[in-house]
Amino acid sequence: MQASTYKPTENPMLTGSLGRCPRCQKGHLFRGFLTLAPRCEVCGLDYSFADPADGPAFFAMTIVAVPALGFALWLQLTYEPPIWVHLLTTLPLTLAACLLLLRPLKGWLVCSQYFHKAAEGSIDYEWHARAKRDRDVGKS
Ligand SMILES: [Zn+2]
């Protein structure tokens, strides 16, 4: 099927959170828990453009930090438990919340890269050549 027959996502947050392909919204984005598939099995979109780097981890930690700290403070101030209680409650809850958020956040960032056509910066040599030609024409 031609790429133009697909209707790309208009909601990268929803499509990515569901782990769907940003172009056809039917294929899977992930091969494992956090490993991206090489390409969409439905439309063939090559996922090599996707590079969310540390973005999902940053957002997961940022989102989870305040509630986790609030829980730890509430637990400590209410029950004054020994530190091992925090190791058995606060720490696993914080880790689980971060891990649960990683996949939808990574899907969202990958779909946003596709939606916004985000790519690594590069020099547009043709644009510079045209600009130089226009400047030279203006001088003469
Ligand atoms: Zn697809």
The predicted-structure confidence for 84-135, as pLDDT tens digits, reads as follows: 999 999 999 999 999 999 999 999 999 999 999 887 778 888 988 999 999 9
pLDDT score, position 2: 53
104 CA distance to ligand 1 middle (Å) = 17
103 CA distance to ligand 1 middle (Å) = 18
12 CA distance to ligand 1 middle (Å) = 13
101 CA distance to ligand 1 middle (Å) = 23
42 CA distance to ligand 1 middle (Å) = 5
For the segment 5-21, what is each residue's pLDDT rounded down to a tens digit?
A: 888 889 999 999 999 99
Q: What is the DSSP string of 50-113?
A: ---TTHHHHHHHHHHHHHHHHHHHHHHHHH---HHHHHHTHHHHHHHHHHHHHHHHHHHHHHHH
Q: Identity (one letter) of the amino acid at 6?
A: Y
Sequence-ordered list of residues with C-beta below 8 angstroms from that of 113, at least 6 positions apart, any chain: 49, 50, 51, 52, 119
> How does the average pLDDT of the chain come out, rounded?
92
Instruction: Assess whether pLDDT exceeds 70 at residue 65.
Output: yes
Instruction: Assess whether pLDDT exceeds 60 at residue 1.
Output: no
As a whole-number percent, the residues of the chain with pLDDT over 70 amount to 96
6 CA distance to ligand 1 middle (Å) = 8
116 CA distance to ligand 1 middle (Å) = 17
